[in-house]
Structure 1
Amino acid sequence: MSNTLHQHQQNPTLESKRLDPGSQVSRPGHRRSVSAGAPLIYSGCSSLIPTGNICPSGKILKPLLPSRGPNRTDVLGSGTVNYGRGSIMRGGSGTYPVPVAVPAAASPLTVKRALGGSDPEEVKRVGNELYRSGNFAEALALYDRAVAISPGNAACRSNRAAALTALGRLGEAARECHEAVKLDPAYARAHKRLASLYVRFGQVENSRRHLCLAGIQEDQSEEQKLLLLEKHVNRCADSRKFGDWKRVLRESEAAIAVGADFSPQIFACKAEAYLKLHQLEDAESSLLNIPKFEGFPAACSQTKFFGMVGEAYVPFVSAQVEMALGRFENAVVAAEKASTLDYNNVEVGRIVNVVKMVARARSRGNDLFSSGKFSEACSAYGEGLKYDNSNYVLYCNRAICWSKRGLWEQSVQDCNQALNIQPNYTKALFRRAASNSKMHDHVAA
Structure 2
Amino acid sequence: MPHKRRSKSWSELKQAGNECFKTGQYGDAVTLYSQAIGVLERQGQKNPEDLSILYSNRAASYLKDGNCSECIKDCSVSLELVPFGIKSLLRRAAAFEALERYRQAYVDYKTILQIDCCVQAAQDGTNRMTKALTDMDGPSWREKLPPIPTVPLAVKEKLLQTQGSVPAAQQNGIKENSSQKAGDVKKARLLKEEGNSLVKKGEHKKAVEKYTQSLSQDPSEITTYTNRALCYLSLKMYKEAVRDCEEALKLDSGNIKALYRRAQAYKELNDKRACVQDLSSLLKIEPKNTAAQKLLQDIEKMK
**TM value normalised by structure 1:** 0.30
1 or 2 for the larger relative contact order (CA 8 Å, sep ≥6)? Answer: 2
Larger Rg: 1
